[in-house]
Amino acid sequence: MIELQALYVPIIFILSLVVSSRLFLERQRKRAPYPPGPTPKPVIGNALDIPLEKSWKKYMEWSKQFNSGIIHLSALNTHIVILNTMEDIVELMEKRSANYSDRPSLKIFNILGASVMTGFLPYGPTWKTHRRLMDEALKKDVLPSYHHIFSGKVHLLLDQFLHKPDSFREHIDELGASITMAIAFGYDVTPGVQDHFVEPAEFALNTGAGLIIPGRTLLVVFGFLCYIPPWIPGASTQRLCADAKEAIMLTREGPYQYVKHKMDVGSSKDCVLARVLERDSGDLGFIEDKELLKNIMASFYFGGVETMKASMANFMLAMTLNTRAQKKAQDEIDSIVGSHRLPSYEDRASLPYVEALYREVHRWRPIVPTSLAHATTRDDVYKGYYIPKGTIILSNIWAISRNEDNYPDPDSFSPERFLNLDGTLNDDTVSYAFGFGRRICPGRYMADKVVWLMIVTVLATFNISKARDGTGNEIDIDPDAYTDGITSHPLPFKCSIICRSEQAESLIRKASEVAWKDLAK
């Protein structure tokens, strides 16, 4: 009898597999189809189709190939949907945001230590606490109180351009870090000096950004590989992740402890963290969980710095390649502002061509070409297509910026596309550059303020053009040479940065002297 029962067990198991498989296939036949996309292979699906470089361009190519704004991929039971049109992005990310505001649960987030950062948290109470603080600290009506910080740091950038123009990329990176550290932690980064807070944060940013986009490494597609110890031969990515995780932990702890110490000795500067730690400051609220607060403030740094760095580098490349647009913007500044002072925020409304140029920088080279990945919290059907729960959703901002119906000759740099015939600005504010829905970039208003001021003051004081070699010939630049991380930066390039006049040099020296004095306080 026992032997007979033992015989039944495998038979029952096999029958249950057959029945469950038939039920699964029946459900597959009844449900709506997936969106179109490359034909998946058995078992691995599209794992080998996911592009490792310039994925946004391949997604746009597939959109044209399959004549669909919505593209579907699958890899080892993970579904990916790419949205290539503004219509689809607005419908799903904005109108159906309750279902499309989650983040993918990727093992690599955990081994990087990034799963506690705002950008990678699942949609829920913890994420809402993060966003509440960030939105309050960076809302539009608060930013004017930071104008003196923005201006001082930008004026120091001009001084660095004047004295060390060949190191312009380092100066730009430093500006983003300097402004974010000042606002978040009341900490002043000394220009031109390696900083013990900024160095690990930059390492974490540069390392992590290249590892966590779908398809970029095997650890993203094959999550089980994350459990391989970093000391195993061949596990170079795991070792890199371990180093990045340590750097993230340093960024969580170092600036936080700095502000705590300054508060204890009564010498802290006004900053976001100090105001949160003061129980009586009701504007930002008080967060009891100190580990949660460290995560929020580290996220504040990472998000703010990366956005500004990429935008300002894109501007420098655009001006190097497009001196005609540069000259038109300079002519407008000269006629409105004059040469007796540097431009300020009060001039913004009077400089429509500069504003159009600013918008074109964001369109011409989107800083996050596929946006940060969202995920669905439940099954959905859209335009007759089935989108399962847990699907990774990518908004292809690159494709939006290349829509020829809206942007004729999209690869050219043309600020005029944002101007009406009478020279006034049109309604296209390129808001898509900062994301969509409930996950839209919380630092977008600060980035807008800083990048615009950097652009207008650099245009007012410097001429930017291609560098020349030893024989006097211009050094060619590949306009498509960009990195492949979450944020896309121009690869290193050379350019000529020359002060426009003695008057401009005098203005820079005077403004930087004031900024240096403020830094010494």
Q: Which pLDDT belongs to residue 52?
A: 82
- What is the C-alpha to C-alpha distance for residues 53 and 61, in angstroms, rounded to an integer? 13
pLDDT (mean) for 454-475: 97
Predicted confidence at residue 235, as pLDDT, reads 52
Q: Are strands 385-387 and 70-75 parallel, antiparallel or unpaired?
A: unpaired
Q: How far is CA 102 from CA 176, 397, 443, in A?
A: 28, 19, 19
Domain with CATH 3.30.43.20 in the chain: 31-114+369-402
CATH class given for the domain over 31-114+369-402? alpha beta
Mean pLDDT of the chain: 88
pLDDT in tens, 11-43: 544 545 444 444 444 455 468 999 999 999 998
The reply, when asked if residue 441 is annotated as ligand binding, is yes
Q: Which CATH architecture describes the domain 116-368+403-520?
A: Orthogonal Bundle (1.10)
Q: Are 464 and 326 in contact (CB under 8 A)?
A: yes
Nearest to 84 by CA among 407, 403, 485: 403
Residue found under tokens 């750097």 = 247
Domain with CATH 1.10.630.10 in the chain: 116-368+403-520
Q: Which token pair is 52?
A: 């490792």
Q: In angstroms, rounded to a whole number, what is the distance separating the alpha carbons of residues 71 and 90?
A: 16
Q: What is the predicted pLDDT for the residue at 473? A: 95
The predicted pLDDT at position 18 comes to 43
- Please give the model's pTM, rounded to 2 decimal places: 0.89
- Token duo for residue 165: 């123009």
The sign of the torsion formed by the CA atoms of 267, 273, 275, 280 equals: negative
Eight-class DSSP state of 49? T
Strand 380-382 and strand 495-499: the pairing is unpaired
What CA–CA distance (Å, rounded) separates 46 from 177? Answer: 39
Under DSSP, the state recorded for 497 is E
Question: Tell me: the pLDDT tens digits for 327-362?
Answer: 999 999 999 999 999 999 999 999 999 999 999 999
Distance of CA 113 to the CA centre of its chain: 18
Position 155 pLDDT exceeds 70 = yes
Q: Given a cut of 90, is residue 106 above it in pLDDT? A: no
DSSP structure class, residue 417: G
**Size of the chain in residues:** 521
Residue 483: alpha-carbon gap to chain centroid: 13
H-type helices in 210-271, by residue range? 218-221, 236-264
Q: What is the pLDDT of residues 205-227, one digit of tens each?
A: 887 766 665 555 555 555 555 55
**Each residue's pLDDT tens digit, 45-99:** 998 898 988 999 999 999 999 999 999 999 888 899 999 999 999 999 999 999 9
